[in-house]
Amino acid sequence: MYRYLMETMPRLRARGAADAYLRECASRKVLDAIANKWTCLLVDALQDGPVRFGALRRRLDGITQKSLTQTLRALERDGMVIRTVYPTIPPRVEYALTDLGHSLVTLMEGIRRWSEDHVSEIMAAREEFERRAAEEPRPVPPI
């Protein structure tokens, strides 16, 4: 019943009601939408002001035009990014964070920094894991 209300009546979802652990809670969809590397890097890259499409494309090394467009469109749809078209020649489109988008900057920057700060530890753990996997058999739950 409660879950039914959460899912069908968005306005009833107050601060304490949403629960991302629940499959059908809309906040689970939000979590799924923001928890990915391109969203993280984009929000981080936009924190200091509007940036043009081409600049973002160069900054997010390795992103395809398709992925960049899709991610920007999703952020725009969800109210975190605003797209501004300037009627100039050549065409110019700028992307900027909304207030909602800005409220996510600290977290996203934190995720990016954490990745950079702990890369050595993680790569070491990864190699250690692979090394062990080649030597010892993996502990299995006994019957």
Q: Does 62 bind DNA (CB under 7 A)?
A: yes
Q: Does 103 bind DNA (CB under 7 A)?
A: no
Strand partners, 51: 95
- Of the candidate spans 1-9, 39-47, 58-66, 127-135, the one that interacts with DNA by CB under 7 A turns out to be 58-66
Strand partners, 93: 85
Cβ-based nearer residue to DNA, 11 or 138: 138
- Pick one of 12, 17, 93, 119: the residue that binds DNA (CB under 7 A): 93
Q: Virtual CA dihedral for 114, 33, 23, 2, nearest 10 degrees?
A: 110
Contacts with DNA, 10-49, as mask; x by CB under 7 A? ----------------------------------------
- Pick one of 67, 103, 106, 115: the residue that binds DNA (CB under 7 A): 67
- Pick one of 3, 29, 73, 77: the residue that binds DNA (CB under 7 A): 73
Residue 113, binding choice from a copy of itself, DNA, none, Cβ under 5 to 8 Å by partner class: a copy of itself
Residue 41, binding choice from a copy of itself, DNA, none, Cβ under 5 to 8 Å by partner class: a copy of itself
Burial of 44 (0-12, 13-18, 19+ CB in 10 A): buried
| DSSP string across 22-85 | STTSHHHHHHHHH-SHHHHHHHHHTTTS-EEHHHHHHHSTT--HHHHHHHHHHHHHTTSEEEEE
Rounded to the nearest whole angstrom, what is the least distance from the CB of residue 53 to a copy of itself in the complex? Answer: 9
Alpha-carbon gap, residue 90 to 88, rounded angstroms = 6
Q: Does 90 bind DNA (CB under 7 A)?
A: yes
Q: How many alpha carbons fall within 13 Å on the CB side of residue 81?
A: 31
